[in-house]
């Protein structure tokens, strides 16, 4: 795993699995309640987006567990109230994805914003497309 977390907040759970002869690094990046306090920025390198349709058995890619950051989120609520995706450049890596997570929703005042960068990985900006189909499960939700 190649990620930066200058504050040592992450609880990263990684496994290695063999799918059709190739080794795939499967990590779950976990943020805990309070990790976004004061606004936090984390950069993940060599991220492989979860894809349930990849061949082989077992986990297929990396995932984000941001459940503890989504204060007040109820299953079925529009995730766009808490998450914003954009494609930008970071560390001279074009087509990097930036996710901003407002802990109490962008419509409410007083929440902290956690920013997560996926260096060199373009996830697009359409949250509905990203969370449907083969990528369903990419973000672990309550």
- pLDDT (tens digit per residue) in 70-122: 988 988 888 889 999 888 888 888 888 899 999 999 988 888 999 999 888 88
Q: What is the mean pLDDT of residues 51-75?
A: 82
Local confidence band at 21 (pLDDT 50, 70, 90 cut-offs): very low
CA–CA dist 77, 71 (Å, integer): 12
Quick one: pLDDT at residue 17?
Answer: 43
Quick one: pLDDT at residue 25?
Answer: 64
For residue 128, pLDDT beyond 60: yes
Quick one: pLDDT at residue 95?
Answer: 85
Closest CA to 46 of 135, 121, 99: 121
pTM equals 0.77
CA–CA dist 45, 42 (Å, integer): 10
Phi, psi of 134 (to 5 degrees): -65, -20
């Amino acid at each position: 795993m190649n990620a930066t977390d200058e504050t040592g907040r992450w609880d990263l759970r990684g496994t290695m699995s063999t799918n059709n002869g190739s080794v795939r690094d499967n990590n779950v990046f976990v943020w805990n309640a309070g990790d976004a306090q004061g606004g936090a920025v984390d950069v993940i390198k060599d991220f492989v987006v979860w894809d349930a349709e990849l061949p082989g058995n077992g986990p297929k890619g990396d995932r984000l567990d941001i459940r503890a950051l989504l204060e007040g989120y109820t299953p079925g609520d529009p995730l766009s109230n808490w998450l914003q995706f954009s494609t930008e450049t970071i560390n001279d890596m074009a087509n990097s994805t930036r996710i901003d997570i407002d802990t109490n929703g962008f419509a409410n005042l007083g929440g902290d914003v956690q920013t997560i960068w996926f260096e060199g990985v373009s996830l697009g900006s359409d949250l509905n497309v990203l969370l449907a189909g083969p990528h369903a499960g990419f973000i672990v939700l309550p």
